[in-house]
Amino acid sequence: MSEPLLQVDGLCKTFHVAKSASGNTRLKALDGINLTVGRGETLGLVGESGCGKSTLARTLILLETPDEGTVTFEGTNPFGLRGKELLSWRRRVQMVFQDPFASLNARMNAGDIISEPWATHRSLYPSSREREARVRELLHMVGLRPSDARKCPQEFSGGQRQRLGIARALALNPDVIILDEPVSALDLSVQAQILNLLNDLQQELGVSYVFISHDLTVVRHVADRVAVMYLGRIIETGATEEVFDRPRHPYTAALMSASPKLDVTGAKRDRIVLQGELPSPLDPPSGCRFRTRCWKAQDVCAEMAPEPRVTAAPDGGLRLTECHFPLETVQGLTGATATAG
């Protein structure tokens, strides 16, 4: 992995909600998240709906305050910062949201949307001439025209609005951009254009991405490394090819097997159909959180949460897996279908 830029350690976030059937009111959306993002790399974040991806994204850009844990950016944890130091931190980690229709203020024109963050970060472009020039430059960078600065969001197509969202995220010259399902609201040809744009910008600016997506094909295409999330925890990380082709956690294996078209080796991969739904984070299973759906579960899985195991991958990178009985090879999947449905 490239040099770590952003490091997340033991991050926990609890929401207080209406009582569940068992009387719980504490919903632990994040339960001890550890991950790193390297300089200039794309970390793909995958997992089922409700597993906590957006909560993690919102915590990384300080929209949520964690109960515990740290997010360290170049050695600084933002949660104790105030004033200028906090502003400076916020500038460096930005976000692009899923829905380009909802995430832009319909009453502002594109120029105002892009320059809005500079009202807070005044020292970046102090004069109106500098701000106007930078708006034009940013529009150009994302493939829009200078005259688009005067248009309002509803005058743009979905793809153009997402370009505008990316220009807004770039306005503060961030080091990391969190992309929460950035292309899932777009049709396929527009998705490809936006993914190419993100790639070009990364090459040009060296910015890091945390790329959240349900679409494994897209993640395989864009990510250098992948983190797999299940019920508030990262249960597997590693280089993209490693995680896709040689999953070690049974949940990752099930996710990947649901996308047989991803198997570029041509080898036949058994489909593992997971039983049941993602359990509620209000009442998570004891021990390993995946045990209620895992075909490899044994008694110890209910008694003890697995510790993260770090192993070296053949490419020299590190793999992290949270499982008492990790799969050793892709062939380890054989036989899983009998119990996994």
Ligand X SMILES: Nc1ncnc2c1ncn2[C@@H]1O[C@H](COP(=O)(O)OP(=O)(O)OP(=O)(O)O)[C@@H](O)[C@H]1O
Interacting residue ranges for ligand SF4, rule: CB under 6 A: 249-250, 288, 290-291, 294, 296-297, 301, 306, 323-325
- Phi-psi domain of 304 (left: phi exceeds 0; alpha: psi -120 through 50; beta: other): beta
Based on the shown chain and the rule CB under 6 A, indicate whether residue 49 belongs to the binding site for ligand X.
Answer: yes
143 binds ligand X (CB under 6 A): no
Q: Nearest CA to 238 among 7, 43, 13? A: 43
Query: In angstroms, what is the C-alpha Rg of the chain?
Result: 21
Q: Does 162 bind Mg ion (CB under 5 A)?
A: no
**Order of all β-strands in the sheet with 68-73:** 26-38, 4-16, 68-73
Q: First and final CA of the chain: distance in angstroms?
A: 36
Residues 205-216 as b or e (16 or more Cβ within 10 Å = b): eebbbbbbbeeb
* Amino acid identity, position 318: L
Instruction: Tell me if 51 contacts ligand X by CB under 6 A.
Output: yes
Cα separation, 222 vs 200, whole angstroms? 12
Helix (H, G, I), strand (E, B) or coil at 317: coil
In 3D space, the residue among 93, 127, 101, 133 whose CA is nearest the CA of residue 114 turns out to be 133
Which tokens go with 114? Answer: 């892009």
Q: What does 306 bind: ligand SF4, ligand X, Mg ion, none (CB cut-off 5 to 8 Å by kind)?
A: ligand SF4
Query: Shortest gap between Cβ of 322 and ligand X (angstroms)?
Result: 17
Q: Which is nearer to ligand X, 53 or 246 (CB)?
A: 53
x/- letters, 53..72, toward ligand X (CB under 6 A): xxx-----------------
Residues 6 or more apart whose Cβ sits within 8 Å of residue 161: 100, 101, 104, 153
Binding residue (CB under 6 A) for ligand X from 7, 14, 15, 313: 15
Q: Which is nearer to ligand X, 94 or 98 (CB)?
A: 98
Site track 41-60 with Mg ion (rule: CB under 5 A), x = hit:
------------xx------
- Interface with ligand X (CB under 6 A), residue from 2, 10, 17, 63: 17
Least distance (Å) between residue 340 CB and ligand SF4: 11
Name the minimum Å distance from CB 290 to ligand X: 15
Task: Report what 169 binds from ligand SF4, Mg ion, ligand X, none; CB cut-off 5-8 Å by kind.
Answer: none
CA dihedral 207, 210, 215, 216 (to 10 degrees): 90
The stretch among 45-53, 154-162, 163-171, 202-210 that binds ligand X (CB under 6 A) is: 45-53
* The pair of three-digit structure tokens given for residue 104, joined into one six-digit string: 């832009």
Q: How far is the CB of 174 from ligand X (least distance, A)?
A: 21
**Taking the complex as a whole, how short is the minimal distance between the CB of residue 180 and Mg ion, in angstroms?**
6
The residue assigned the tokens 């502003």 is: 87
- Tell me: does residue 281 bind ligand X (CB under 6 A): yes
In the bound state with Mg ion, the residue whose beta carbon lies nearer, of 178 and 194, is 178
> What residues make contact with ligand X under the rule CB under 6 A?
15, 17, 27, 29, 47, 49-55, 281
